[in-house]
Amino acid sequence: MIKISVFYPYKDGAAFDIDYYVNRHMPMVRDTIGAACKGIAVEYGVSGGAPGSHPPYVAMGHILLESAQALETSFAPHLPKFLADIPNYTAIEPVIQVSEVKLQ
Q: Give the residue with the Cβ less far from a copy of itself, 34 or 51.
A: 51
Question: Under rule CB under 8 A, how many of the chain's residues touch a copy of itself?
Answer: 32
Q: Determine which residue in the list 14, 15, 46, 91 makes contact with a copy of itself, applying CB under 8 A.
A: 46
Q: Which of 12, 101, 20 is nearest to 62 (CA)?
A: 101
Residues in the chain: 104
Contact 40, 63 (CB under 8 A): yes
Q: How far apart are CA 67 and CA 74, in angstroms?
A: 10
- In the complex, the smallest distance separating the C-beta of residue 57 from a copy of itself, rounded to whole angstroms, is 6
User: Which amino acid, residue 68?
Assistant: A
How far apart CA 98 and CA 8 sit, in angstroms, is 15
Which residues partner with 65 through β-bridges?
2, 37
Q: Can you tell me which of 3, 11, 24, 38 binds a copy of itself, judged by CB under 8 A?
A: 3
Which residue in the set 31, 47, 73, 91 belongs to the binding site for a copy of itself (CB under 8 A)?
47
**Contacting a copy of itself (CB under 8 A), which of 2, 33, 70, 92?**
2
What residues make contact with a copy of itself under the rule CB under 8 A?
2-3, 5, 7, 18, 22, 26, 40-49, 55-57, 60, 68, 95-104
